[in-house]
Amino acid sequence: MLHRPNYNEFLAACAKYVKIEQGDTNYEVAHGWVEAHWNDPIRVAGGVRILEETWNRAFYSRGIFDMQQVIQAIVKYKNELNQLRSRSVETFSSADENVTAQLWKTFFEALRPRGRLVSPYVATAKALHLLVPTFFVPIDGAIAKNYGCSGSQPQGYVKFQHLMASLSCHILDSLTAKSGGDHQTAKTLICGSMYTQQTGSHYVKTFAKLLDEYNWVTRLDRGKVSAEH
């Protein structure tokens, strides 16, 4: 059973992430570009490319995906993406499983590097997060393994989203239990002033992005423990 942090432990992990990553500028550039050009699928696909060629550069070092396929995927699911962009990760439920699986399958095929029979597993999660940054949480192989979600996809990612929703509620509850208010108030505080003050980050991020930072640090720490043993 993985540790379920309170809001202080959660923010401490985010602070460690910010210190190691030194600003996360490539993510912010891609995120800002997509948000500024959301109604232009060509530019949105360009934002996905910016993210994948920086945040996921090792995977695409030998060639990028077919941009036209990504554009077509964005156009095909524009309505679904718009609906999910009004949602937050803690609201993920069984009613979201089918659309999540459909998005995963479509973008998985679109993000396959041209001419290579490899699985863009991490790339798909990163792209879904960029397109719906408040709702979908990025994942990588080590994080998936930590949460027991590294099996068949998209079932593994759907399970991961359920776990992230539960973890979100636990963290938000830990703050409301102390300060009162509701989840929205707690989330605004954690993602805003509490995050920037504790981490020194110049960027205000979504709760889904903070979950990725927490998971990345947890993965790093678990790796160190494994190496020591």
The predicted structure's pLDDT at residue 1: 55
- pLDDT cut 90: percent of the chain above it: 84
In a domain, 191, yes or no: yes
In a domain, 216, yes or no: yes
In a domain, 28, yes or no: no
Q: What is the pTM of this model?
A: 0.94
Residue 44's contacts (CB-CB under 8 Å, 6 or more residues apart) are 34, 37, 38, 74, 131
Kindly report, residue by residue over 82-102, the tens digit of the pLDDT: 999 999 999 999 999 999 999
The predicted structure's pLDDT at residue 82: 98
Element (H, E) at 18: helix 7-21
The residue to which tokens 């699986």 are assigned: 101
Number of domains in the chain: 1
Enter the tokens of residue 138: 């990025």
Enter the tokens of residue 121: 């597993």
Q: How many helices (H) and strands (E) does the chain have?
A: 12, 0
In a domain, 42, yes or no: no
* Residue range 60-72: mean pLDDT, rounded: 94
In a domain, 66, yes or no: no
Structural domain that includes position 97: 7-21+88-223
Kindly report, residue by residue over 26-45, the tens digit of the pLDDT: 899 999 999 999 999 999 99
The predicted structure's pLDDT at residue 228: 27
In a domain, 151, yes or no: yes
Minimal CA–CA distance to 119: which of 132, 127, 110?
110
**What is the total residue count of the chain?**
229
Residue 211's contacts (CB-CB under 8 Å, 6 or more residues apart) are 89, 137, 164, 167, 168
Element (H, E) at 98: helix 97-110
Kindly report, residue by residue over 97-155, the tens digit of the pLDDT: 999 999 999 999 999 999 887 889 999 999 999 999 999 999 999 999 999 999 899 99
In a domain, 156, yes or no: yes
Taking CA atoms, 172 is separated from 108, 190, 201, in Å, by 31, 8, 20
In a domain, 26, yes or no: no
The predicted structure's pLDDT at residue 229: 23
Whether the predicted pLDDT of 227 surpasses 70? no
The predicted structure's pLDDT at residue 186: 98
- Averaged pLDDT score across all residues of the chain: 93
Query: Quick one: CA dihedral 186, 188, 194, 195, positive or negative?
Result: positive
